[in-house]
Amino acid sequence: MRHGIAPEIGPRAARLVVAVILIAAIAARAWALSIHGIVHPDEAFQYIEQAHRLVFGYGIAPWEYRYGMRSWLVPLLLAVPMKLGTQAGAAWPEPLLFARILVAVIAFAAVPAAWAIGRRTSRLHAAVAVAVIGLWYESVYFSVHVLTEVLATAAFLSGAAAIIAGRGRRGADLAAGALMALTVILRFHYGPAVAVFLVIALRLDRRRWTSIAIGALPMLAIGAIVDMAMGGMPFGWIVENFRQNIVRDRASGFGVAGPFAYFNHVWVQWNVAIVPILLFAGLGARRQPALAAAALVNLLIHMAIAHKEPRFIFLTTQVTLLLAALGSVDYARRALPRWSGGAIGTLTIGGWLAASLLLATVGRSAPDWRPNESGYLLASIAGRDPATCGIADQDISYGLVGGYAFVHRPVALYYPVWDKPGGGFGFSAAGAPAWNRLIARRDSPVPAGYAALACHGELCLYRRSGGCVENPAARATRLQTVLERNGD
């Protein structure tokens, strides 16, 4: 190799490497995908349950939808494969699987976006970027779950790729405008990050700003039409969300954390790997300053919000990983000037994959790859049993069992639970004649007359013989009634 020529890989080698990575990324997501795996109750109640309500006419309405604080775009999206799958004769819960596959396919758009962004520098950068976004364990883990943060991040990276790789072509900027508008509709909290990225990437280019605006209009129109079709004002849910969560601070009731809580989360997830990741991301930020600024602004915005959850900053962590992928190639090129592009690519990708595999399987960073699967699976089993006439949750949170989307039968759901003075859950049996199925922990003492029907993980489904007779005590503990009484 001549002195001064940066190591690169040929187009044929790049196509082969990327093809292998894409196959591995798809396989990893197929392995991680679970019909009953729910990473957060929002996934079940805010999106899957609402799609079930749209298709089948019954379901639990959580407080965000009762107050009109959420867009119906995602539930409508999920409702399409649910409806089509049901009409095609698929047995439940297969239509749920179809809906989850659709979300995973949309989220996968982040992977080719990583290629396009990396390709702006070189094929070697692009290959490493695809490997990181395609196979990093957090990317795989979250990409198969129905979360607006994941979908919004995929839309943002796709829009950023259109701007970065499109190099000012009108068609690319029109697409970028639509994707950036979609990002904000999916998670309006990402709006400041979108704005900062566009300002830095486009600067004062009036022609490109015009194309972005024109491209955004159809997507904004779709969002407005969805809002009006569901009985709301266009984007009124954003105003109501701000009023409830910021002005009235209702979200704090679900937990608060200090401004630096996200740093602790990232430390848990990346451990000592955080040091090279941030160093590499610093190098990568010099190539893509607009992306770096967007990631930083998004982090700062969410640091200022009292209620914090790791998924909220998914855009920041994914962009940081993407920048680190680019920076790791730059570092390897400088550290190993005599190595070929193929050798550098092999070493760099291998290092990333080794770190990902280690974090995915060892220590506190290793996630539960089948999160909360037990309760939702047992709810499905109870729903398929024709003898089931009422289901109650004992000594567990309703967030571990879900609503009607998994039961898929309009039987009464009960939550006869109160918080114990010392913490944890208690159980009221006053309405016991109203249900003949219980979902409880294996070690929980169940009432006389119940026998285990099925167990999975730490939970079991219990049954008693006979039917169900509702009484006033039971009506007061219907899940929907409890949620409304508690403001959930």
Q: pLDDT tens for residues 399-449?
A: 999 999 999 999 999 998 766 555 566 677 788 999 999 999 998 888 889
CA distance 180 to 124: 27
The alpha-carbon radius of gyration of the chain (Å, integer) is 24
CB 172 within 8 A of CB 201: no
Task: State the average pLDDT for the chain.
Answer: 94
Residue 6 confidence (pLDDT): 67
**8 A C-beta contact, residue 323 and residue 284:** yes
Poorest-pLDDT segment among 309-323, 337-351, 406-420, 462-476: 406-420
**Percent of the chain with pLDDT strictly greater than 70:** 97
Alpha carbon distances (Å) from 442 to 264, 379, 395, 439, 457: 33, 15, 11, 9, 9
Spatial distance between the Cα atoms of 32 and 134, rounded to a whole number of angstroms: 13
CA distance 174 to 259: 37
For the chain, give the longest Cα–Cα distance.
85
Asked whether the beta carbons of 77 and 102 are under 8 A apart, the reply is yes
Inter-residue contact 325 to 129 (CB < 8 Å) = yes
Task: List, for residues 183-220, the tens digit of each pLDDT value.
Answer: 999 999 999 999 999 999 999 999 999 999 999 999 99
The set of residues, in sequence order, having a beta carbon less than 8 Å from that of 221 and lying 6+ positions away, is: none
pLDDT mean over 462-473: 94
Quote the pLDDT of residue 73. Answer: 97
User: What is d(CA 264, CA 336) in angstroms, rounded to the nearest whole number?
Assistant: 34
Do β-strands 412-414 and 390-394 pair in parallel, antiparallel, or remain unpaired? parallel
- Please tell me the distance from the alpha carbon of residue 180 to that of residue 190, in angstroms, as a whole number: 10
For residue 253, the model assigns a pLDDT of 74
Q: Quick one: pLDDT at residue 7?
A: 83
List beta partners, residue 455.
460
Q: Across the beta sheet with 437-441, what order do the strands follow? A: 412-414, 390-394, 437-441, 459-463, 451-456
Tokens of 59: 């379901």
Residue 257: predicted pLDDT? 86
